[in-house]
């Protein structure tokens, strides 16, 4: 199979394509190879890479159904073999990394891309991995011209674009103070998540001290200027009557990714310049960012019933308590269905379970109708705007849709994007037409309500 490495240069290579998420990414990418108008797609060639060529062939066959598999090259590479990763980078413009948990397998891939100048996208939702890659490889990626962007899936593009969409509804002099996202996972059948996501959450609890130490070791970044003071913490369990849900705080990657985007925006208020932007593109980018207003941001997991919230809390307690010891982690990973109350299984969801699942993410923004009269630390919000992002199943449908659309934009608009560096998806793809492309593929962005708040 390695003879394929002598083939012509590939537009992208999907690494980890034999995994459960990886085969759905193949399925999504094939839509742009098999299009009736190939001249309109920037994706002309791609390859699959992983440790096991047989499994990669099986994934390609599955993703191609009901058609026979097309002649997509299959390459052998292993995240434990840096030379194999460097070979991949020499033969492509872009790596799509689907090999998780990223804490265990991601760093060698980022290192190879940053060293070679190859661009990199992944679907990580692991804050420590993402922030450590920024600390270790940002300068080299800038120098070599490698654009490294994590969280290009459900983590954390809906949160990033959803916050921007809400903040752009605040017409001057109005401005938000806080935007809280409420995530509701829905299904006609049982909701079953990706085992790698469950494993990543457990490893995150086990290594939370390392994330704290990493953040303390990093230089302080500027904070965005937000009208009004920090919002009150509020109750542990919240009843959001506006949208008819109960909610509890979710320790997700979304909040950390959004904070990094807002910090970059505080440093560069008009966004990041492209490597070879036209004057029109510069004007477009600056106009976009001038409409985005920073706000305090948090994420909560939501349910239509209080019982559903108590179930979330129970699973969180299992992971939080048992994830701190090696024996506890062994139990959690050995019996995922037991300790997640059926939400995670090693074999993953069935295709029927994937098809029946969906998500809704409400963004409840509260702020000021006249932000010019509000000083920092004073004033009570007098205005509320509620928006919503809604789409199909998060791990195997929404995530591949987002990842592949990010890749297509990168391939077709590379001159408009930063030369290189380790960035969040929001700061890179915010000014592009990513939101419009997602809307064309079943992920909607809607304004639900605007109202004045009583004093």
Q: Are 74 and 22 in contact (CB under 8 A)?
A: no
> Does residue 31 surpass a pLDDT of 50?
yes
Work out the average pLDDT over 390-400.
95
> Does residue 284 surpass a pLDDT of 90?
yes
Q: Are 150 and 96 in contact (CB under 8 A)?
A: no
CA distance between the termini of the chain: 69
Work out the average pLDDT over 54-67.
95
Return the pLDDT at 324.
93
Long-range contacts of 210-216 (CB under 8 A, 24+ apart): 210/128, 211/127, 211/128, 211/131, 214/128, 214/131, 214/132, 214/135, 215/131
pTM exceeds 0.85: yes
Return the pLDDT at 221.
92
> Does residue 422 surpass a pLDDT of 70?
yes
Helix axes 127-144, 208-217, angle to 10 degrees: 40
Confidence of residue 89 (pLDDT cuts 50, 70, 90): very high
Work out the average pLDDT over 339-359.
87
Residue reference for tokens 């909560």: 300
Query: Alpha-carbon distance 321 to 7, whole Å?
Result: 50
Residue among 308, 336, 359, 446 nearest 183 (CA): 359
Return the pLDDT at 345.
83
Work out the average pLDDT over 322-332.
94
Tell me the pLDDT tens digit for each residue of 105-159. Answer: 999 999 999 999 999 999 999 999 999 999 999 999 999 999 999 999 999 999 9
> Does residue 3 surpass a pLDDT of 70?
no
Residue among 416, 446, 179 nearest 292 (CA): 179
100 SS3 class: coil
Confidence of residue 45 (pLDDT cuts 50, 70, 90): very high
Collect all residues with Cβ–Cβ distance below 8 Å to 174 and sequence separation of at least 6.
367, 368, 369, 370, 371, 383
Tell me the pLDDT tens digit for each residue of 144-178. Answer: 999 999 999 999 999 999 999 999 999 999 999 99
> Does residue 4 surpass a pLDDT of 60?
no
> Does residue 6 surpass a pLDDT of 60?
no
CA distances from 410 to 145, 155, 331 (A): 13, 18, 41
């Amino acid at each position: 199979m390695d003879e394929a490495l002598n083939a012509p240069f590939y537009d992208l290579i999907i690494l980890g394509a034999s995994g459960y998420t990886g085969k759905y990414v193949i399925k999504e990418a094939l839509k742009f190879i098999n299009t009736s108008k190939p001249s309109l797609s920037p994706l002309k060639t791609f390859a699959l890479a992983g440790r096991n060529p047989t499994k990669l062939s099986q994934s390609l066959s599955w993703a191609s159904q009901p058609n026979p598999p097309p002649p997509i090259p299959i390459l052998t590479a292993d995240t434990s073999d840096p030379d194999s990763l460097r070979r991949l980078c020499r033969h492509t413009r872009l790596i799509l990394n689907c090999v998780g948990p990223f804490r265990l397998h991601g760093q060698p891939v980022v290192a190879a891309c940053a060293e070679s100048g190859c661009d990199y996208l992944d679907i990580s939702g692991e804050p420590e991995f993402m922030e450590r890659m920024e600390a270790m490889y940002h300068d080299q990626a800038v120098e070599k011209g490698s654009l490294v962007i994590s969280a290009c899936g459900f983590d954390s593009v809906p949160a990033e674009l959803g916050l921007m969409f809400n903040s752009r509804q605040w017409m001057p002099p109005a401005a938000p103070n806080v935007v809280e996202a409420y995530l509701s996972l829905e299904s006609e059948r049982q909701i079953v998540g990706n085992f790698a996501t469950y494993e990543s959450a457990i490893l995150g609890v086990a290594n939370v001290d390392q994330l704290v130490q990493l953040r303390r070791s990093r230089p302080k970044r500027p904070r965005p200027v937000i009208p009004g003071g920090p919002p009150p913490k509020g109750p542990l369990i919240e009843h959001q009557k506006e949208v008819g849900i109960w909610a509890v705080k979710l320790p997700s990657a979304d909040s950390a990714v959004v904070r990094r985007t807002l910090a970059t925006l505080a440093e560069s208020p008009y966004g990041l310049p492209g490597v070879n932007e036209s004057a029109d593109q510069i004007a477009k980018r600056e106009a976009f960012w001038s409409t985005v207003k920073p706000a305090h941001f948090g994420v909560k997991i939501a349910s239509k019933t209080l019982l559903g919230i108590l179930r979330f809390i129970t699973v969180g307690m299992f992971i939080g308590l048992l994830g701190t010891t090696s024996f506890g982690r062994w139990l959690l990973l050995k019996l995922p269905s037991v300790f997640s109350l059926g939400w995670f299984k090693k074999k993953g969801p069935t295709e029927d379970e994937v098809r029946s699942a969906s998500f809704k993410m409400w963004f409840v923004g509260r702020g000021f109708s006249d932000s010019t009269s509000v000083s920092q630390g004073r004033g009570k919000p007098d205005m509320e705007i509620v928006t919503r992002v809604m789409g199909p199943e998060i791990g195997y449908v929404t995530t591949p849709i987002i990842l592949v659309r990010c890749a297509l934009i990168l391939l077709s608009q590379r001159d408009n994007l930063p030369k290189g560096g380790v960035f969040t998806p929001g700061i890179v793809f915010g000014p592009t037409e990513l939101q419009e492309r997602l809307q064309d593929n079943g992920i909607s962005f809607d304004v639900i309500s605007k109202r004045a708040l009583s004093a």
